[in-house]
Amino acid sequence: MKLMNTLLSGAALAAVLTLAGPVAAQDCPRGDLDQRFCDVDGDLIADTPTDPAELVDPDTLIFAYTPVEDPAVYKEAWSDFLTHLEAETGKSVVFFPVQNNAAQIEAMRSGRLHIAGFNTGSNPLAVNCAGFNPFTIMASEDGNFGYEMEIITYPGSGIEKVEDIKGKQLAFTSPTSNSGFKAPSAILKGDFDMLPERDFEPVYSGKHDNSILGVANKDYMAASIANSVKARMLSRDVITEDQVVTIYKSQTFPTTGFGTAHNLTPELKEKIKNAFFSFEWEGTSLQAEFEKSNEGQFLPMTYKEFWDVIRKIDAANGVSYSCE
């Protein structure tokens, strides 16, 4: 699979986003989905296969959370939820510590990942090329959800507003990240007439915590990041308030989407959904970590509605997907 983006070179994209996986063309409605999938009901996600031979019901379920920070932090954070998931499904569940977005998508595309939380920007890629079926996001107890993209710098950097980045360096995370690349690219181009290479030097940190720490330690002059990650890092005292300054804050975007591989049996999918929506957060390791960004429940959602703004950002960036 290759992500064609006018803002990155083909070589860079091939290095980051080339994914393996078999292709079997089908004669059915599919929209932007890969040839392996069908979308008869028009909800923009891959349908559950109608052929029983194509369904999977593994004894061990593999779960992965988007690699926004050190995977070791989140293996512990998700431990209580995964115990609950085992009880609800009657299956063993293993936490898969992925290091980057492309590896996570490839794992689901190749059938090695069954349940996942994909970051905001990766959701369209995971849906179209890996058969990801998202159905929930985290939200606060009063039902609010989402995060903002921020462009941050450090005090004394000489950058006080977005235009001051001209001629300087801006750190992105990875091409599949919404707040770490897609949204700032569209905003810088559309609102400030600023392009990478022409107006500033783009660098890539790999993850949000790398970008935030890079700015806090003055390794990067500026960076585009998800403020939900920054909030959790502040709560853990990884950084302090006086180390970073926000010079731009975007509209609110949907946060990580959680869901399953499309080809799990309907019965297993239902059990997994029930596990998310029946989970009691109070006193758990999940609450201890995610209350730092004001999250305390799993909220039902649809990819078609909630990710509409992200698909529009992709379109504004000239992004199109093809899966090979």
Domains of the chain: 2-144+254-322 (3.40.190.10), 147-253 (3.40.190.10)
Low-confidence spans in the chain with pLDDT less than 70: 1-26, 69, 321-322, 324
pLDDT of residue 69: 67
With CA atoms as reference, report the closest residue to 179 among 252, 129, 242, 245.
Answer: 252
Q: Answer left, alpha or beta for residue 70, where phi above 0 means left and psi between -120 and 50 means alpha.
A: beta
pLDDT of residue 18: 40
Task: Measure the CA–CA gap between 301 and 43, rounded to whole angstroms.
Answer: 12
pLDDT of residue 97: 92
pLDDT of residue 25: 52
Q: Both tokens of residue 233?
A: 């890092």
- Per-residue pLDDT of 263-294, as tens digits, reads 999 999 999 999 999 999 999 999 999 998 89
pLDDT of residue 67: 86
How would you class 316 by CB atoms within 10 Å of its CB: exposed for 0-12, middle for 13-18, buried for 19 or more? Answer: middle
Task: Measure the CA–CA gap between 65 and 258, rounded to whole angstroms.
Answer: 9
CA torsion, ordered 284, 93, 267, 109, to nearest 10 deg: 120
Task: Measure the CA–CA gap between 318 and 13, rounded to whole angstroms.
Answer: 14
- Per-residue pLDDT of 189-235, as tens digits, reads 989 999 999 999 999 999 999 999 999 999 999 999 999 999 999 99
Give the pTM: 0.79
Contact yes or no for 120/253 (Cβ under 8 A):
yes
pLDDT of residue 100: 87
Q: Both tokens of residue 149?
A: 């993209």
Task: Measure the CA–CA gap between 275 and 63, rounded to whole angstroms.
Answer: 13
